[in-house]
Amino acid sequence: MESAPPPERSRRTVVAALGVAQLLGWGTSFYFPGVLAVPIVADTGWPLSVIVGGVSLGLLVAGLISPRVGRVIGARGGRPVLALSSVLFASGLAVIGLAPALPVYLVGWIIVGAAMGCGLYDAAFAALGRLYGATARGPIAALTLFGGFASTVCWPLGAFLAANIGWRGTCFAYALLHLLIALPLQLLLPDRVGTLSDAKRPVARETSSVTLMPGEGAIVVLLALTLTLSAGIGSIVVVHLLLILEAKNLTPAVAVSIGTLFGPAQVGARVIENVFGTRYHPIWTMVASCAAMAAGLAAMLTVSGVTVLTLAMIVYGGGYGIMWIARGTLPLALFGAERYPVLMGRLALPSLIVQALAPFAAALLLERAGIEVMVGALVAIAAINAALVVMLWMLCRPHRT
């Protein structure tokens, strides 16, 4: 007998629980150096570049394990993998907090990287896709709203903790948050929801193979390229944003004030997408994201003035914000829930690796050619990405539902 779909209250509870875990996951990994790098350097004397490079090491590890994570979620569901991520986050942060030497600090980041691969957006998207099937677009979009507040919550929290209990104590406090808050919330994720598609679906095996229909191979390649370039652009801008703005002859204070709009712009665009996104195909979300990112970067390169740069930041931030929604919803719409977890794992591999390496490549270009050339290169890459997403849209038309 086919069981009824889950009640909306249950779905909202699941999204809220996973959302809090996402907020903690992003805030204690990707945004970790924002407030803790300087105290760590002051206390230990370790090189700042290596301290910040821990995040890149973590992203590399996350990318390398992401295909396996997708296969496991496809076969066994998301709850065990996401719960494991909370344990790994706690373990890695504890190792970082205890680290007597730099190599041990980096070992901690290897563990945190495994947690990132098992617990951040790509894994959570795959878990929701497996759980809710074709109706997962709403939960995926809602989940990104929580992640958008990670820096807003964890930067002030981290600064407060570091000032009162030191950076090591902050790491231990973060570890406890993962064990006492995130882990119980991750365990709220059901093993399985009895939707119609699930009722008819045979039990999945853990396999690396994905059967593609004629023409779908090109779509996968273009999708991977688009998501990877978007992620790479985003990681560069996050790291070098203030330098980009200060190069427009802004004072540091004004540059910071404009830069703070990046987070609210992401969240605002995600709210709009969450409200209206069910009315159109996710390919349009990806098109809008690439166009907005390219337009915002082009404005930062070619114009000056606080007002125009503020608008450019809002446009770029909004495009980057909805990119994460498209990253979760477009593969689901194109390839279906059955193949979704494995494909998400595969798509995450190049994207996370590029996220890890792109800021360093941009820094080298910045040192050798200057900020204008670096931003010009970003604009060119964003324009290429916009052209790729148009090609993707043309290929996707026969596959749209």
Write out pLDDT tens, residues 250-289: 888 888 788 778 888 888 898 888 888 778 888 999 999 9
What percentage of residues in the chain have a pLDDT greater than 70? 90
Among candidate residues 220, 219, 134, 212, the one with its CA nearest the CA of residue 397: 219
Q: Are 158 and 36 in contact (CB under 8 A)?
A: yes
Average pLDDT over residues 49-71: 90
- A 10 A CB-CB count for 133 gives 20
- What CATH number does residue 346 fall under? 1.20.1250.20
pLDDT, residue 363, reads 81
Q: Are residues 19 and 88 in the same domain?
A: yes
Q: Are residues 273 and 369 in the same domain?
A: yes
pLDDT, residue 199, reads 40
* Residue 26 burial class via C-beta count within 10 angstroms: exposed 0-12, middle 13-18, buried 19 and up: buried
Q: Are residues 225 and 172 in the same domain?
A: no
Task: Give the whole-angstrom CA distance, residue 93 versus residue 71.
Answer: 26
Mean residue pLDDT of the chain comes to 85
pLDDT, residue 213, reads 61
Confidence of residue 194 (pLDDT cuts 50, 70, 90): very low
* Helices 102-119 + 121-132 axis angle, to 10: 20
Q: Are residues 268 and 179 in the same domain?
A: no
Among candidate residues 128, 390, 144, the one with its CA nearest the CA of residue 283: 390
pLDDT, residue 204, reads 47
pLDDT digits (tens, 9 = 90+) for 70-116: 889 988 888 999 999 999 999 999 999 999 999 999 999 999 999 99
Q: Are residues 276 and 141 in the same domain?
A: no
Tokens of 129: 């896709």
Task: Give the whole-angstrom CA distance, residue 88 versus residue 91.
Answer: 5
Q: Are residues 275 and 227 in the same domain?
A: yes
HSE (side-chain half, CA atoms, 13 Å) at 286: 32
Q: Based on C-alpha coordinates, what's the Rg of the chain?
A: 20
Q: Is 67 domain-assigned?
A: yes
∠ CA 302-307-313, nearest 5°, is 65
Q: Is 202 domain-assigned?
A: no
* Residue 32 burial class via C-beta count within 10 angstroms: exposed 0-12, middle 13-18, buried 19 and up: buried
pLDDT digits (tens, 9 = 90+) for 2-39: 444 444 548 889 999 999 999 999 999 988 887 888 89
Q: Is 2 domain-assigned?
A: no
Task: Say whether pLDDT at 390 is over 70.
Answer: yes
pLDDT, residue 261, reads 83
Q: Are residues 250 and 154 in the same domain?
A: no
pLDDT, residue 202, reads 40
Q: Are residues 252 and 151 in the same domain?
A: no
Task: Give the whole-angstrom CA distance, residue 281 versus residue 325.
Answer: 12
Tokens 């760590």, residue located: 40
pLDDT, residue 12, reads 86
Confidence of residue 398 (pLDDT cuts 50, 70, 90): low
Task: Give the whole-angstrom CA distance, residue 302 versus residue 376.
Answer: 9
Q: Is 305 domain-assigned?
A: yes
Q: Are residues 190 and 221 in the same domain?
A: no
CA distances from 142 to 19, 71, 85, 349 (A): 8, 24, 21, 24
pLDDT, residue 201, reads 46
pLDDT, residue 294, reads 94
Q: Are residues 125 and 40 in the same domain?
A: yes
In the chain, the number of structural domains is 2
Confidence of residue 195 (pLDDT cuts 50, 70, 90): very low
Residue 347: which domain range? 216-399
Q: Is 106 domain-assigned?
A: yes
Task: Say whether pLDDT at 316 is over 50.
Answer: yes
pLDDT digits (tens, 9 = 90+) for 208-257: 455 656 667 788 889 999 999 999 998 888 878 878 888 888 888 888 78
3-state helix, strand, coil in the chain (%, to 5): 85, 0, 15
Q: Are residues 248 and 366 in the same domain?
A: yes
Q: Is 203 domain-assigned?
A: no
Q: Is 211 domain-assigned?
A: no
Q: Are residues 221 and 166 in the same domain?
A: no
Task: Give the whole-angstrom CA distance, residue 80 versus residue 85.
Answer: 9
More confident residue, 111 or 129: 111
Q: What is the pTM of this model?
A: 0.82
Q: Which of 58-62, 205-209, 221-225, 334-338 has the lowest mean pLDDT?
A: 205-209
